[in-house]
Amino acid sequence: MPEQDLDDRIRQLVARAVADAPPAPDLDPVVVRLDRRRPDHRRARWVGGGAALLAAAAAITTVVLINDTDERISTPATVPAPTMSATPDTPATVDAPGAASTTTEPGTTLPPATRWEATEAVLTAGADGVTAYLDGRTTTLWTEPVRIALATPGGRVILTPDDEGGGAPLVLDPSTGAATPLLADHPEYWTGLVLLHDVELVDGRELLLYGLIEGTDQPAADTERIYLVDLATGDRQLLAAPEGAPDASTATQLLPGAASVRSRLSMSVAGDIVGTLNDGNGVSFLWLAVPGSPAAQRPRTAAELGLQPTYPGCDTECPRLFTISPDGGTIAWVEGADDAELVVHEDSAPQRIPLGFPPQETSLDIAPDGAFLLARAPAPVQAVRVARDGTVSALRGVVATAGPGGQATNPVAPPPTAAVVTAGPDGIAVLDEDGNELRRLDEPAAEAYLTPGGAVIFQAPRTEPGGDVGPPMIWQPDGAVERLLPDPAPGQSYRIYDVAGVDGVPTVLYGLRSRPTDGNPAGFREQLVALAMDPAGWTTTELAEIPTWEAGYTGLGLGADGTVIGTYSESVTTSYVAMALPGSPAEQTGVPDHTTLGIEPDYGDCTTCPNHFTVSADAGTIAWLAEGDVVVFDVASATTERFALPDLGGIPVRLDIRPVGDGSSEVLVDRWSDEAEELDAVRFRLSPDGAVELPLGAAFASFAP
């Protein structure tokens, strides 16, 4: 459809919609209702879905908000509350020391337990997320609304979230659940519309084919450029642009100036790119080729398919939705209206498959088993599978896509590695090794910890002196912010200590603190709990229960083998704490005791004595502060090194350490700054030359596990 026609039809569509407008509600009832209006700040209650719902949601707990009518806006600028679509509904608390583990359910973006073969998979995308169909089984890969999802030859999934922010593409690793933005380094990404077409392995390169429509003042001037991106190198190439476009000379192929790409393009391993074009005069078969690919030597034409070069003035009956199978052996399309058929062109005479339903499709793809994947419109759009014998079956979701024909031996280039997460009044930031910001959440936070899967666990700052920090939250890789744990009982609060991947499972170490209402000192207690965020089900394990009247843990670190190292303070005495998560490797091997570290079990009334014990996320290093130095204990060699730190100019409150190759380490010291009278964090590189401060600038910081 030509752009001007589209504008006209949308204008008519809006006019028809607005023509149905009812009379404006009378003001009097408004005033009456205003009188009755009551402030309602009650928290919405959450209930978990039952077993049937659980099964229907493919083992992801669906949580339903009740008392919907309580939702009110406070001001138009209010950001909608985060959708807590998968908050564990079973309390993650344990009632008594040594209690059995309690199972909860996984969060929004947890991955499947096993990696799947992308080349054999069919993915569907829709309001319920992304579902993979493989070997007769379905697996939910993502539970937020998605417009389209494509399996890559390297076993990743590239998806476009269907969100208010414009749906920037993400690349998802199903084996870990980690999702990172894609194409973010292209400037047009921020204002243009990215349309994902296909991913394929061509000449050993994992290529993403996508369209970009740049926003303009005049909608009719929108033009789609077709790009190819090498997912391993990030190299991008303008494959096709409309004639007359400013950058048309840099494109390897040109499209008619008034043309629009009518439907999703598909790509074969040989480098064929097939789709449907509308040049303003009619609809036609579109063939492009990956430059330098075998396909570039053998153009495919409408004539060889028995088609006219173009079908003038034909929007609904002519051949359309051209697609090519991943192996390049099949080209298929849809034609006809009420008697719509799938036409399949292979080596022999074209096969025609009656569809048996109105041709309101918007997307066509060829599945690995030769079946056809259609999406039918208008709303509610439904993805269906059409077998060669014409049998139609429904799929979950709106758009179904077939896996690629090739399997990559070169996986997608890993995204920049997160090294540090910072927290402060201005939000949370995930930084790479060089301190560059990878992600930001503009939400004040007291502390933040990165999980191995790319999520961030954080707590909001205290709202009053002596008050509790906010409830533990999880900032998912897809941007969703959700409660990590159920609301604590009155008089209880949570405190996150550390996060690590223990035996490969993201694990959060936290305390559940209780304060008795009668002020009885004996009632001040803290349960130390490990939350294992296993995709098969979250479990909590209580590690210890301690009195907290004028006492408590001042910090705890968690290592990958289940080692827990920290500090316990009681009155004026400070003690070294070492324990192991039940069932972890550390429980088998044992954790270093104070004798191994060459320190006393505890120290009394001493501000410079060993303090702030911690363990690196890989469990290979234990560190502590003593007399202005940081002491580093290498677990494997049982050797100790001391590094003098510059004057911290404040009181340390937490220490973190990580190895950084070449035998050196980095430490983060979160401190109370005397000068600024606020918390801030400092970062040091420890090497034989001493401790060198690195730029940071944050109230709180912790290392990525």
| Binding to other proteins, residues 354-393 (CB under 8 A) | 357-362, 376-382, 384, 392-393
Among 48, 59, 62, 594, indicate the residue that binds other proteins (CB under 8 A).
Answer: 62
Q: Which is nearer to other proteins, 10 or 489 (CB)?
A: 10
Q: Distance between terminal CA atoms of the chain? A: 52
Q: Which of 41, 43, 51, 80 binds other proteins (CB under 8 A)?
A: 80
Provide, rounded to whole angstroms, the least separation between the CB of residue 1 and other proteins: 6
How far apart CA 552 and CA 549 sit, in angstroms, is 8
Site for other proteins in 329-358 (CB under 8 A): 357-358
Q: Which stretch binds other proteins (CB under 8 A): 73-81, 292-300, 557-565, 594-602?
A: 73-81
Query: Taking the complex as a whole, how short is the minimal distance between the CB of residue 37 and other proteins, in angstroms?
Result: 6
Task: Identify the sign of the CA torsion 327, 330, 331, 334.
Answer: negative
Distant-in-sequence, close-in-space partners of 702: CB < 8 Å, separation ≥ 6: 420, 421, 447, 448, 449, 450, 498, 656, 668
The region of 15-23, 235-243, 413-421, 697-705 touching other proteins under the rule CB under 8 A is 15-23
601 binds other proteins (CB under 8 A): no
Smaller CB separation from other proteins, 331 or 395: 395
Residues 388-427 that bind other proteins (CB under 8 A): 392-394
**What number of chain residues touch other proteins (CB under 8 A)?**
85
| 23 vs 466, beta carbon nearer other proteins | 23
Q: How far apart are CA 189 and CA 202, in angstroms?
A: 24
Q: How far is residue 555's CA from residue 547's CA, in Å, rounded to a whole number?
A: 15
- In the complex, the smallest distance separating the C-beta of residue 13 from other proteins, rounded to whole angstroms, is 5
Phi, psi of 134 (to 5 degrees): -155, 130
Q: Using CB under 8 A, which of 123, 124, 128, 529 touches other proteins?
A: 128
- 53 is an interface residue for other proteins by CB under 8 A: yes
Residue closer to other proteins, measured from CB, 40 or 433 = 40
What's the rounded Cα separation, in Å, for the pair 202 and 134? 23
Q: Considering only residues 492-511, where is the footprint of other proteins by CB under 8 A?
A: none
Residue number, 24 or 96, with CB nearest to other proteins: 24
C-beta closer to other proteins: residue 398 or 617: 398
- Among positions 45, 72, 440, 462, the unique one binding other proteins when judged by CB under 8 A: 72
* Structure-derived torsion over alpha carbons of residues 567, 570, 572, 576, reported in degrees to the nearest 10: -30
DSSP 6: H
Q: Please give the residues from 464 up to 493 whose contact with other proteins meets the rule CB under 8 A.
A: none
Residue 35 in contact with other proteins, rule: CB under 8 A? yes
Cβ(431)–Cβ(420) below 8 Å:
yes
Binders in 151-210 for other proteins, by CB under 8 A:
162-167, 190-193, 195
The region that residue 557 occupies, defined by phi over 0 for left and psi between -120 and 50 for alpha, beta otherwise, is beta
Q: Is 16 in the site for other proteins (CB under 8 A)?
A: yes
Task: Determine how β-strand 629-634 pairs with β-strand 427-432.
Answer: unpaired
Please report which helix (H) or strand (E) contains residue 578, including its range: strand 573-580
Would you tell me how many other CB atoms lie within 10 Å of the CB of residue 28?
A: 8
Q: Is the Cβ–Cβ distance between 570 and 602 less than 8 Å? A: no
Of the candidate residues 4, 30, 604, 627, the single one contacting other proteins (CB under 8 A): 30
User: Does residue 68 bind other proteins (CB under 8 A)?
Assistant: yes
Contacting other proteins within 251-310 (CB under 8 A): 260, 262-263
Our CB check for other proteins shows the closer of 46 and 549 to be 46
- Cβ-based burial of 629 (10 A; exposed 0-12, middle 13-18, buried ≥19): middle
Strands 351-354 and 341-345: antiparallel
In sequence order, the 6+-apart residues with CB closer than 8 A to the CB of 384 are 373, 374, 375, 376, 392, 393, 394, 395, 400
Query: Judged by CB, which is closer to other proteins: 22, or 465?
Result: 22
Task: Read off the tokens for 558.
Answer: 């968690």
For residues 609 and 12, give the distance between their C-alpha atoms in angstroms, rounded to a whole number. 78
Residue 373 CB, shortest distance to other proteins, in Å, is 13
Q: For residue 555, what are its two tokens? A: 């910090």
Between 129 and 454, whose beta carbon lies closer to other proteins?
129
Shortest distance (Å) from residue 587 CB to other proteins? 41
C-beta separation of 119 from 404 below 8 A: yes
* Stretch 221-250 residues interacting with other proteins (CB under 8 A): 222
> Does 27 contact other proteins by CB under 8 A?
yes
Q: Cβ 38 to other proteins, closest distance in Å?
A: 10
Span from 49-57, 113-121, 305-313, 422-430 in contact with other proteins (CB under 8 A): 49-57
Residue range at the interface with other proteins (CB under 8 A); choices 14-22, 265-273, 601-609, 612-620: 14-22
Which residue in 23, 136, 313, 490 binds other proteins (CB under 8 A)? 23
The pair of three-digit structure tokens given for residue 184, joined into one six-digit string: 């973010």
Burial (Cβ within 10 Å: 0-12, 13-18, ≥19) of residue 528 = buried
Minimum Å gap between C-beta 460 and other proteins is: 22
**Closer residue to other proteins, CB minimum distance, 221 or 651:** 221
State the DSSP H helix or E strand holding residue 194, giving kind and residue range, or none if neither: strand 193-202
Is position 1 an interface residue for other proteins (rule: CB under 8 A)?
yes
Interface with other proteins includes 84 (CB under 8 A)?
no
